[in-house]
Amino acid sequence: MKIFKDKKILINETFDIKNIGFIPTMGALHNGHISLINEAKKKTNKILVSIYVNPTQFKSKIDFKKYPRSLKKDIKILKKIKVNYLYIPSTEDIYTFKPKSKIYLDGFSKTLCGKFRPSHFKGVINIINRLLDIIKPKFIYLGMKDFQQLTLIRSHIVKNRIKTKLIPCQTIRDKNGIALSSRNAKLNKKQLRVAQKIYKFIKNNKKTILKKILQKKRFEISKNIIKFGADKIDYIECVNLERKQICTNIKDKFNVFIAYYIKNIRLIDNL
């Protein structure tokens, strides 16, 4: 595996490779990330992973500092599964050039996570735009766990006519149903059980959740989730994935989207 820390060297070595499958990550790798890499392997034998904890998408400096990091272990994992290239940019490397495309944020950026973390998606699209400009991959692999992020990246790509195909990948869960996340590493056993109860509750009560929300009785749902041990809920919403809209009709097809805190650990999921 070739490791790049300098975009000029990366560009020099990869500019004539036309079939790069790209997996952007913030590291602290888990089986969710690995499933994206395995998806990429189905389409190409040139796989590039990036690891960069992007400061501009965090709400606070403390949250950024506390984000789990395990670079040595990550490199070992990526070597073992035979990833071809790893890009670990410095902030200077990634932020000191002018990308060709302008950041495009569609209206969907204002709801869900965007409502509670106002500059988050601008930070996400900015970094992805820069990475796409440098790497020019044929495919980019993104997880459905971060559905809002995936959707906004897709509309940025379409709007700017960027020639990278986005491949959505399903959410990988642990045996108790909890969506794998780098932040799970911060949860102790008791807190993992809280996350598990919340997952089970949502999975088994999707229709009821939508009904209660439409009847303006969301507080009943929130009360349950707090009872399981969540400390705060940013939002719980039912969203139609095709229309990218909050459901207004009981007959809608939807996923329940949630962002909540256990202590100061923020978790998101949709199912």
Distance in angstroms (rounded) separating the CA atoms of residues 270 and 262: 17
Report if residue 120 touches ligand AMP, rule: CB under 6 A: no
Report if residue 56 touches ligand AMP, rule: CB under 6 A: no
Q: Of 168-176, 185-193, 231-239, 255-263, which segment contacts ligand AMP by CB under 6 A?
A: 168-176
Catalytic residue among 30, 33, 120, 156: 33
257 exposure class (CB count in 10 Å sphere: 0-12, 13-18, 19+): buried
Instruction: Give the residue with the Cβ less far from ligand AMP, 171 or 240.
Output: 171
Report if residue 179 touches ligand AMP, rule: CB under 6 A: yes
Distance in angstroms (rounded) separating the CA atoms of residues 212 and 91: 45
Report if residue 142 touches ligand AMP, rule: CB under 6 A: yes
How many residues touch ligand AMP (CB under 6 A)?
17
259 exposure class (CB count in 10 Å sphere: 0-12, 13-18, 19+): buried
Which two structure tokens, joined as six digits, stand for 153?
A: 């990246």
Known catalytic membership, residue 156 = no
Exposure on the CB side of residue 140, measured as CA atoms within 13 A = 25
Instruction: Give the residue with the Cβ less far from ligand AMP, 30 or 136.
Output: 30
Q: Which one-letter amino acid corresponds to residue 119?
A: S
Report if residue 262 touches ligand AMP, rule: CB under 6 A: no
Q: Which one-letter amino acid corresponds to residue 95?
A: Y
Report if residue 181 touches ligand AMP, rule: CB under 6 A: yes
| Distances, alpha carbon 196 to alpha carbons 227, 234, 238, 260, 270, in Å | 13, 18, 20, 13, 14
Instruction: Give the residue with the Cβ less far from ligand AMP, 9 or 185.
Output: 185
Distance in angstroms (rounded) separating the CA atoms of residues 155 and 191: 36
Q: How far is the CB of 212 from ligand AMP (least distance, A)?
A: 27
Catalytic residues: 33
List of residues contacting ligand AMP (CB under 6 A): 25-26, 32-33, 35-36, 142-143, 145-146, 169, 171-172, 179-182
